[in-house]
């Protein structure tokens, strides 16, 4: 067993760490307070090749392995969790399924522009009436000659307004249950497409999240992604990969929270000594560091299994992806909670970053499959004969 990262992986991690700490960390608190989308930062990330991480080099992407993508996502999230979710959805939930299931024409049309950051991608599965139970979606797609007419509402969609293409799921055959759902590549410029209300969120306030309304939305038949009836397969295989990305995001937020708590504990004095001299605080820091390590190892195991699966040398990695997502997201909440605790009253102030980490970590146990859904997946895999 070898726990070392390769030279290339270390180089990518250090490059992104340096960029994120120098150019992102100083401006993020003010952007987040204003709820402003970090357009300039995303443009710089595109220049660094980080919007093409899942895209092959033939389309101008950087085609990173999953371990490298995790290292990148961790460093971006450490500086700004909102930017991390923007980039994660673009790479893992939008570009990746186009690479995996797209036709030659679809790849030609979208991938190079996505790698350059000219098109930001989104993923639209959730609806007002269903999230975890995605198969019960209400959106409908009816074929009419050379196009489909889509009707329905998608909610909680990351990258609304800024997105140029959405991998969107709708029912094509209501009688076929889970096999009656198909995936489409839908653009905001298509007739019948409009954006609905935006969500006023607890955290991730610099990422844009909202609704997509489809009213007889005309989607060319050539924009069907994969075949009719493959929609849930597209969605679930996308989420398997995306979950490793959410584990990385969780580890990044927790790393930032731990570092702030450690620094604060070393400088703040109480009862004639630093907080870091108090055993109760030392124990909190020890637990935070240990849990962070455990989550990072689960994340790297899932990522390296996914890389081996791509090369055909490994089995399905969804159990490990769910374990990494479940543990890392719940760990992130525990670590952010303790970071606020160590800061005392100051941790409750927007003057200190730990308040933001506490809010940003909260969503990680909910999206891309709530913790309970991850437990169901893990248990199903454990109990399958
Ligand atoms: C900031 C943010 C960004 C998002 N971005 C996107 C996006 O880009 N695209 C997209 O499609 N969606 C997105 N989502 C939606 C997200 O994936 C859903 O919120 C999530 O899947 C949960 O669905 P729900 O909110 O409908 O909760 P529900 O399905 O109503 O579940 C509510 C709670 O019930 C429990 N629960 C549900 N089912 C079970 C079960 N079978 N067993 C035990 N407990 C259960 C869980 O605790 C769960 O949290 C985003 C959400 C947020 C908050």
For 275-306, give one letter per residue: b (16+ CB within 10 A) or e.
bbeeeebeebbeebeebbeebbebbbbbbbbb
- Is the distance from CB of 127 to CB of 139 less than 8 angstroms? yes
Q: Which atom of ligand 1 is nearest to the CA of 203?
A: 1
Indicate which atom in ligand 1 lies nearest the CA of residue 122. 8
According to the model, what pLDDT value does residue 313 have?
66
User: pLDDT value at position 314?
Assistant: 67
Quote the tokens at residue 293. 């390590």
CA of 316 to the centre of ligand 1 (A): 24
Q: How far apart are the first and last CA of the chain?
A: 28
Q: Give residue 1's pLDDT.
A: 80
Query: Quick one: pLDDT at residue 310?
Result: 74
pLDDT of residue 214: 98
- Residue ranges of alpha helices (H) inside the chain are 7-19, 28-34, 39-47, 66-79, 81-88, 96-101, 104-116, 231-267, 279-310, 318-343, 353-362, 371-383
134 CA distance to ligand 1 centroid (A)?
A: 9
Q: Any idea which of 1-10, 37-46, 89-98, 202-211 has the lowest mean pLDDT?
A: 1-10
Instruction: Report the mean per-residue pLDDT for the chain.
Output: 97
pLDDT at 84 over 90: yes
Which residues carry out catalysis? 368
**Which residue among 122, 131, 214, 238 has the greatest number of ligand 1 atoms within 8 angstroms of its CB, and so is best to mutate?**
131
Query: How remote is the CA of residue 286 from the centroid of ligand 1, in Å?
Result: 32
CB 363 less than 6 A from any atom of ligand 1: yes
Nearest CA owner, ligand 1 atom 32: 132
Tell me, what's the pLDDT at 312? 74
pTM for this structure? 0.97
Rounded average pLDDT over 247-258: 98
Closest atom of ligand 1 relative to the 199 alpha carbon: 1
| Residue 204, ligand 1, Cβ within 6 A | yes
3 state SS of 123? strand
Segment 148-171 shows an average pLDDT of 98
Distant-in-sequence, close-in-space partners of 335: CB < 8 Å, separation ≥ 6: 254, 257, 258, 288, 291, 292, 361
Ligand 1 within 6 A of CB of 372 = yes
From 370, 376, 380, mutation site for ligand 1 pocket: most ligand atoms within 8 A of C-beta: 370
337 lines ligand 1 (CB under 6 A): no
Return the DSSP state at 5: P
Cβ of 89 below 6 Å from ligand 1? yes
Span 14-40, pLDDT tens digits: 999 999 999 999 999 999 999 999 999
Determine if ligand 1 sits within 6 Å of the CB of residue 86: no
Ligand 1 atom at minimum distance from 370 CA: 49
Q: Does 116 have pLDDT greater than 80? A: yes
CA distance 199 to 202: 9
Ligand 1 atom closest to the Cα of residue 154 is 11
């Amino acid at each position: 067993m070898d726990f070392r990262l390769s030279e290339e992986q270390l180089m990518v991690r250090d490059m992104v760490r340096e960029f994120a700490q120098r150019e992102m960390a100083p401006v993020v608190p003010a952007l987040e307070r204003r709820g402003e989308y970090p357009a300039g930062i995303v443009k710089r990330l595109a220049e660094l090749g980080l919007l093409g991480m899942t895209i092959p080099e033939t389309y101008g992407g950087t085609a990173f392995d999953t371990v490298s993508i995790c290292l990148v996502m961790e460093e971006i999230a450490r500086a700004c969790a909102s930017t991390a979710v923007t980039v994660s959805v673009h790479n893992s939930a939008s570009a990746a399924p186009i690479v995996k299931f797209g036709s030659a024409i679809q790849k030609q049309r979208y991938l190079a522009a996505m790698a350059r950051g000219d098109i930001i991608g989104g993923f639209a599965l959730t609806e007002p009436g269903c999230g975890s139970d995605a198969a019960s979606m209400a959106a409908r797609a009816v074929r009419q000659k050379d196009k489909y007419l889509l009707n329905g509402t998608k909610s909680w969609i990351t990258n609304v307004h800024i997105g140029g293409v959405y991998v969107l799921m709708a029912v094509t055959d209501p009688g076929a249950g889970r096999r009656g759902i198909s995936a489409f590549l839908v653009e905001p410029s298509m007739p019948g497409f409009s954006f609905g209300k935006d969500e006023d969120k607890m955290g991730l306030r610099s990422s844009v999240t909202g609704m997509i309304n489809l009213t007889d939305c005309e989607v060319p038949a050539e924009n069907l992604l994969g075949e009719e009836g493959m929609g849930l397969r597209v969605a679930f295989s996308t989420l398997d990969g995306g979950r490793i990305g959410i584990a990385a995001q969780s580890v990044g937020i927790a790393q930032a929270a731990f570092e702030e708590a450690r620094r604060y504990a070393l400088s703040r004095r109480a009862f004639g000594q630093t907080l870091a001299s108090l055993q109760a605080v030392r124990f909190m820091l020890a637990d935070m560091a240990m849990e962070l390590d455990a989550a990072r190892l689960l994340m790297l195991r899932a990522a390296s299994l996914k890389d081996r699966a791509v090369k055909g040398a490994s089995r399905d990695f969804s159990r490990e992806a769910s374990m990494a997502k479940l543990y890392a997201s719940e760990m992130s909440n525990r670590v952010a909670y303790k970071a606020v605790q160590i800061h005392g009253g100051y941790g409750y102030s927007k003057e200190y970053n730990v308040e933001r980490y506490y809010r940003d970590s909260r969503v990680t146990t909910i999206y891309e499959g709530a913790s309970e859904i991850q437990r169901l997946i893990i248990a199903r895999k454990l109990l399958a004969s």
